[in-house]
Amino acid sequence: MAPVIETSLTLPCGVTLPNRLAKSALSEQLGTIGSHAPDGRLVKLYSRWAQGGSGLLVTGNVMVDRRALGEPANVVVEDDRDLEALSAWAAAAKSDGAVALVQVNHPGRQSPRSLSPRPVAPSAIGLKGMGGAFAVPRELTVAEIQDLVARYAETARVCVEAGFDGVQLHGAHGYLISQFLSPLANQRTDQYGGSTENRARFLLEIAAATRAAIGADKVLSVKLNSADFQRGGFSEDESIVVAKALEAAGVDLLEISGGTYEVGAMMGVTKRESTRQREAYFLDFAERLRGEVSLPLMVTGGFRTKEGMDEAIATGAVDVIGLGRPLAVDPDFPRLLLAGKRSEVAGMEPRSIGIRKLDAMAEVVWYTTQLWRMGRGKEPAITKPSAVGVGEYVVKSQLPAVVRGVAGQVPGLGGLFR
């Protein structure tokens, strides 16, 4: 009998997922301002998600360096100073039997100017089309690259010591690892630039150091772009080359995504007609990749029905179904789906504030405020208007510079976001 979402999955390291549904990473922005420790609201939020029935829970990005933030309230783990708070977070996530991973990340050049006046990146190449919200980065030295490799590994070690079952290295969405992989962002001429193999060196060194730090029996996962969806950027052919190298390096689970801040494929911006018909954003690429690698694959984005999920699992295209935004509005969806009490996602209507250029950002903000509600012990409020969500976000997060920069390109709106 072909596997479906109810079946368990044992990863190469020996850890078993009780079912094939995963809560994929969503940026919670629930670290303490200033110290960037895990806030108690993360315990409440992940206790709620643990009750929801997912076999795997992946946290939002945890940064390896407090000098490099993607958002003001990111959690940062550089050492064991917040081990007690991390342990409480891990215990909450695992309280109902789920496997829990920490997503480890560094923003590179995708750190807003308000947080990083001079961010670092593989090359001194800035983001395009973001309204000046991000500063042009400084090129990393080889010594700094090696220090970052060690930082990723140390963050992973501390998180596993705190009780998490492993980590996910964020190599997608235009963050630092993804920047090294992209020939548009990485124009180095040393051992970290040029060929696909050289551009993948940073990721592979991090994977090796992380495995050594967490041990053979913990989960090592990677989130990888299928492509950047930019002319001359990281391509599907290159992604396959990197995926093969990650399999050889002993990665236990590869999550497939795509896009960057400049081209948001992960949010459905480049959604093809075939994707609309088949639900998942990156399923076509997963099927292609399945012919090249045998390590477990996870796809996140677009899945809406049990039928679509079961088909993707049964055909062997993927092994794990990632759910993000659906669990921000319906945290019990996995449990109800597995029990046969629900057949499709509800509450996923498009969110708009009536300004086309800002709608995508406003939608992200609206979903983030739903996480904040659960972190306060409340249930999601799916009837809350998008504009109200934006207002709450502005007040509580001091509105990151990325929103101000984009808004500044809309006539008449720039003054509202300064």
pLDDT by position in tens, the chain (length 418) = 678 999 999 999 999 999 999 999 999 999 998 999 999 999 999 999 999 999 999 999 999 999 999 999 999 999 999 999 999 999 999 999 999 999 999 999 999 999 999 999 999 999 987 768 899 999 999 999 999 999 999 999 999 999 999 999 999 999 999 999 999 999 999 999 999 999 999 999 999 999 999 999 999 999 999 988 778 889 999 999 999 999 999 999 999 988 776 654 344 444 444 444 446 789 999 999 999 999 999 999 889 899 999 999 999 999 999 999 999 999 999 999 999 999 998 877 777 777 776 667 788 889 999 999 999 999 999 887 766 767 777 766 644 444 444 443 333 322 222 2
Backbone φ and ψ of 326, nearest 5° = -55, -35
Residue 284 forms part of a structural domain:
yes
Considering the domain architecture, whether residues 335 and 381 belong to the same structural domain is answered as no
**DSSP character at residue 305:** B
Considering the domain architecture, whether residues 236 and 288 belong to the same structural domain is answered as yes
Residue 137 forms part of a structural domain:
yes
184, 230 contact by CB (below 8 A): yes
Considering the domain architecture, whether residues 108 and 207 belong to the same structural domain is answered as yes
Model confidence, pTM: 0.90
Final residue belonging to a domain, choices 348, 364, 393: 348
Residue 3 forms part of a structural domain:
no
Strand ranges for 247-395 from DSSP E: 253-257, 297-300, 320-323
Sole residue written with tokens 């001091």: 398
- Which has the closest alpha carbon to 281: 369, 127, 172, 130? 172
Rounded to whole angstroms, how far apart are CA atoms 69 and 75?
9
Final residue belonging to a domain, choices 348, 377, 397: 348
Rounded to whole angstroms, how far apart are CA atoms 149 and 142?
11
Q: How far is CA 174 from CA 224, 257, 322, in A?
A: 10, 11, 19
CA-based end-to-end distance of the chain: 58
State which residues form the domain around 331. Answer: 9-348
Name residues whose C-beta falls within 8 Å of residue 295's C-beta, 6 or more positions apart in sequence.
12, 243, 246, 247, 251, 252, 253, 254
**DSSP character at residue 410:** S
Residue 327 forms part of a structural domain:
yes
Considering the domain architecture, whether residues 52 and 94 belong to the same structural domain is answered as yes
Final residue belonging to a domain, choices 302, 332, 348: 348
- Kindly report the number of other CB atoms within 10 A of residue 3's CB atom: 14
CATH number of the domain residue 125 falls in? 3.20.20.70
Considering the domain architecture, whether residues 218 and 358 belong to the same structural domain is answered as no
Please name the helix (run of DSSP H) or strand (run of DSSP E) that holds residue 59, with its range, or none. strand 56-63
Residue 2 forms part of a structural domain:
no
How many domains does the chain contain in total?
2
Tell me how far the alpha carbon of residue 365 is from its chain's centroid.
Answer: 15
Considering the domain architecture, whether residues 368 and 322 belong to the same structural domain is answered as no
Considering the domain architecture, whether residues 281 and 380 belong to the same structural domain is answered as no
Residue 4 forms part of a structural domain:
no
pLDDT of residue 386: 67
Please name the helix (run of DSSP H) or strand (run of DSSP E) that holds residue 47, with its range, or none. helix 40-51
Considering the domain architecture, whether residues 273 and 403 belong to the same structural domain is answered as no
- Kindly report the number of other CB atoms within 10 A of residue 324's CB atom: 19
Rounded to whole angstroms, how far apart are CA atoms 314 and 405?
44
Residue 298 forms part of a structural domain:
yes
Name residues whose C-beta falls within 8 Å of residue 2's C-beta, 6 or more positions apart in sequence.
313, 314, 315
| DSSP codes, 85-125 | HHHHHHHHHTTTS-EEEEEEE--TT-S-TTT-SS-EESSS-
Considering the domain architecture, whether residues 300 and 394 belong to the same structural domain is answered as no
Considering the domain architecture, whether residues 344 and 358 belong to the same structural domain is answered as no
pLDDT of residue 209: 98
Q: How far is CA 1 from CA 7, 202, 312, 334, 382, in A?
A: 11, 41, 14, 22, 38
Residue 1 forms part of a structural domain:
no
Q: How far is CA 93 from CA 16, 183, 348, 379, in A?
A: 16, 37, 24, 17
Amino acid at 276: R
pLDDT of residue 75: 98
Considering the domain architecture, whether residues 170 and 194 belong to the same structural domain is answered as yes
Could you give the maximum distance between any two Cα atoms of the chain, in Å? 60
Considering the domain architecture, whether residues 336 and 357 belong to the same structural domain is answered as no
- Which has the closest alpha carbon to 172: 304, 275, 265? 265
Token representation of residue 215? 């041990």
Rounded to whole angstroms, how far apart are CA atoms 48 and 52?
7
